[in-house]
Structure 1
């Protein structure tokens, strides 16, 4: 069996507050799932439209204590294992997520709902971080819909937000991964930088207002900015994809990234919440 997907993040709340957010069903319904039922140490379940294969609860509690939560989660007929581990770090919490049965190939080709696990948890943890910090949450991915649209308000001038979206160095910083951007129509938008061998294409650009990038089979991502009382309203839309196989994986990752984009522009001394993301070495 391959090593699990491992994600570490710093949350601006003490361990007891984070544990409560992870185990209180009312709080889970705010940041994680449409429906949740928890009765420790016997039951831990969540489901609904914001959960992959969320037509019914598919979790089975394995272990719960003051610092660890572990449950089995059956997806596409395979029982996976999810574990949250909490550790105090200063006044906050270092959260470690371990998720088994994640295959990057499935994330790229959409052959299994398990391919969404990395970005599903990235978006969920971003919303957990926002929830415990008392910040606005990001839109959750609706796995029953093909309407992929998200809106966030950033407390920063439009020109600053635009630069952070289109400047390679700044975008690489808040996204947490190298991005090469040629901000003109026909230019490259290269995840991993210009030397990776593959790049999406900028297909529409209105300086200071709109950027559209064509990802081929995943469709076109469009970021549109508008000034709003000294703040910036950002609307992100995914279009032009095969509606029989919506690109939930990249969409969830793009929405998750908006959390750091917002913090990057709003905080004078910005530091990413993400400590590390370790992908399995083998499928």
Structure 2
């Protein structure tokens, strides 16, 4: 078994407020799941269409104190163990940590192998939404595991020209997404997560640009699916609509979709917060290649 996944993020809210968001069923139904029930120490459950294998609640609390919640979550035929912990960074700042066992390594995540391949990106999006929830910001759309398609829309308080640059300029993309990209900004060019040296046939992380209208639209062909980003004016901001299509409907790319949604959350913060800094300062998925990470994220 590989080492546990470890995620650590900073929330701009007092620790008591973050704990309430983690342990209040109504709050959980806002930032985490379609359904939730909490009666600690005996009951902590979430399920529904936004939860992997979420037909019924399966979580079992095993430990809880003022700053820690640990529960068993059966997934893909294995009992995984999740620990959510909080640490006070200052009067208005809290460090949120998530660890989970039995999370597949990077190669399995990229290959979308089994229901546990989504866990790292599921928690990335969930914690990003937790942070926005306690900071009073609009949440990013969740991944609907029951939906037939993969599409979403957010409004970003920045001009389309600025958002387009953040999607297409490698240095800016690396700042908010935390990943290295290289881009040939023309139809027929490459858009490569991890750089042009990545073997496209190995991890499908190099796309071909099939549509490009500056400041308005990008289309990427990944070989096994197509991604489109459309930007439109919205009262001085940008309405960003993103779609994944053309994938094998028997195996939707939920892990990658969740990763993109988590990235969109940070893209919004990057443009909307004058004192922006990444919420993440540890994001450890076993086996993640160093070339994938932007220099600032290593």
Is 2:232 the counterpart of 1:230?
no
Once residues 276 and 183 of structure 1 are traced to their aligned partners in structure 2, the CA distance between those partners, rounded to angstroms, is 31
In the TM superposition, residue 109 of structure 1 has moved relative to its aligned partner by 2.5
Alpha-carbon distance in 2 for matches of 1:110, 1:197: 17
Instruction: Verify: 1:208 aligned to 2:210, yes or no.
Output: no
In 2: Cα distance, 1:50 partner to 1:245 partner: 16
Q: Secondary structure at the match of 2:86?
A: strand
Aligned ranges 1:161-176 → 2 under 5 Å:
161-176=163-178
2:295 — aligned with what? none
Question: What residue in structure 1 maps to residue 26 of structure 2?
Answer: 26
Are residue 10 (structure 1) and residue 17 (structure 2) matched? Answer: no
Size of the aligned set, in residue pairs, is 281
1:281 deviates by 4.9
The equivalent of 2:292 in structure 1 is none
CA contact (8 A) 2:2 2:104 kept: no
Instruction: Tell me, yes or no, if the aligned pair for 1:69 and 1:85 is still in contact at 8 Å.
Output: yes
Task: Give the superposition deviation at 1:174.
Answer: 0.6
TM-score, normalised by the number of residues in structure 2: 0.91
1:149-207 deviation line (CA, Å, top 9, x unaligned): 11111111111111111111101111011111222111111111233343221111111
1:106-157 C-alpha deviation (Å, 9 max, x unpaired)? 3222331000001111110111011001000011101111221111111111
Tell me, yes or no, if the aligned pair for 1:106 and 1:114 is still in contact at 8 Å: no
**Map of 2:187 onto structure 1:** 185
CA RMSD of aligned residues (A): 1.3
Partners of 2:220 and 2:287 lie apart in 1 by 30
SS in structure 2 at match of 1:236: strand
When structure 1 is superposed on structure 2, of 140-149 and 99-108 the one drifting more is: 99-108
Q: Which region of structure 1 is more displaced relative to structure 2, 103-112 or 134-143?
A: 103-112
Correspondence 1:137 to 2:163 = no
Matches within 5 A, 1:63-212: 63-90=63-90, 91-104=92-105, 105-198=107-200, 199-212=206-219
Kindly indicate whether the alpha-carbon contact (under 8 Å) linking 2:4 and 2:102 is maintained by their aligned counterparts in 1.
yes
User: After the TM superposition, which of the residue ranges 54-63 and 200-209 deviates more from structure 2?
Assistant: 200-209
Q: Secondary structure at the match of 1:93?
A: strand
- 1:265 paired with 2:271, answer yes
- Secondary structure of residue in 1 paired with 2:240: strand
SS of alignment partner, residue 28 of structure 2: helix
Aligned to 1:59: 59
Could you tell me the TM-score, scaled by structure 1's length?
A: 0.96
Partners in 1 of 2:277 and 2:219 — Cα distance? 27
Q: Distance between the aligned counterparts of 2:75 and 2:222, measured in 1?
A: 27
Q: Which runs of 5+ in 1 are unaligned?
A: none
Q: Over residues 239-274 of structure 1, what are the superposed CA-to-partner deviations in whole Å (9 max), with x where a residue is unaligned? A: 111111111110011011011111111222320001
4+ aligned runs moved over 6 Å, structure 1: none
